[in-house]
Amino acid sequence: MKKVKKAIIPAAGLGTRFLPATKTVPKELFPLVDRPLLLYVIEEAIAAGIEDIVIVAGRGKTAIEDFFDRSYELEDTLAKSGKTDLLEKISKIKNMANIISIRQKEALGLGHAVLCGAPVIGDEPFAVLLGDEIMLGRPSVTEELCQAYDKTGFSTVAIMEVPESDVSKYGIVKVSPNGSTFKIHNVAEKPSVKEAASRWALPGRYVFESQLFSYLKNTKPGKNGEIQLTDGMNGLAAEGRLYGTTFQAKRFDAGDKFGFLQANIEIGLQHPETSARLKTYLQELTRGWK
Ligand code: G1P
């Protein structure tokens, strides 16, 4: 059985939850302290053994490609001024993995964005990591999914339980327990609490067999008029080839204002240059709060 060596990171969304900031800056490049969101996602993929990473971006997101390219002027200036530590940091980025850039010409939905990566994936299994979901901690979620795929050969996706109030923000799965994992019978994109089969939600980490593409090709626009990844996944579920698993990492929805702030605080508390001062600041700030 083939190992999971390729991943798709869809980064074509318009980032409307972060306007006006996202008017010219892709949300995937927003910093968590000093590193863009996308770098955390890419590192998660690399930690799982992924070698080729396809970034599917839309119009107005060329800064993402530039981020993984050489920056001659900056590198030259840093070299001349002896800032070797900074130079090393930015030089490392372009050698991290094999980054392949694909343009989604129309924002037709997440399922369509994933389908844009099909020519690079071919008939191999692949991971999908949503660019605004940040998972901190090891083992990485993608690593856990790849291990599950290695054992079973079935598409396996991360699932998490959410409160009722959040059900309508996610793809929701109908599951039955299957040893340490769950068999997924059906997926619904952002159902109302009344329609939802459970509170088990998709937090944006998936490992798929390439068969998913054949379903996505035939997927018609669904929720919000978009070609939904979840609708394509239903093809795999109907064949009994879709499983769900919980995960150990801590997850932040950094595409949302509150989740973004949380992730920044969490990483700021771990960062050697900010941790001590941030901790003291938070203690001072919250002293006397109820
Ligand atoms: C997308 C998916 C949804 C998933 C969610 C996780 O929705 O369509 O199934 O649960 O990501 O963040 P979006 O948040 O892009 O609207």
Q: What is the pTM of this model?
A: 0.93
**Structural domain includes residue 258:** yes
pLDDT tens track for 231-252 = 999 999 999 999 999 999 999 9
Ligand 1 touching residue 184 (CB < 6 A): no
pLDDT confidence band for 83 (50 / 70 / 90): confident
Is 65 part of any domain? yes
pLDDT tens-digit series, residues 30-57: 999 999 999 999 999 999 999 999 999 9
Is residue 156 within 6 Å of ligand 1 at its C-beta? Answer: no
22, 28, 115, 130: residue to mutate for ligand 1 pocket, most atoms within 8 A of CB: 130
274 in any annotated domain: yes
Chain center to CA of 213: 19
Q: Is 204 near ligand 1, meaning CB less than 6 Å away?
A: yes
Q: Residue 171 domain-assigned? A: yes
54 within a domain of the structure (yes/no): yes
CATH classification at residue 212? 3.90.550.10
Average pLDDT of the chain is 92
| Number of domains composing the chain | 1
Lowest-pLDDT choice from 34-38, 70-74, 206-210: 70-74
Residue 37, in any domain of the structure:
yes
Percentages helix, strand, coil for the chain (3-state, rounded to 5) are 40, 25, 35
Q: Is residue 1 part of a domain?
A: no
Name the residue range of residue 205's domain. Answer: 6-287
> In the chain, where does DSSP find H-type helix?
37-47, 62-67, 72-80, 84-94, 110-116, 118-121, 141-152, 212-217, 229-238, 257-268, 275-286
20 in any annotated domain: yes
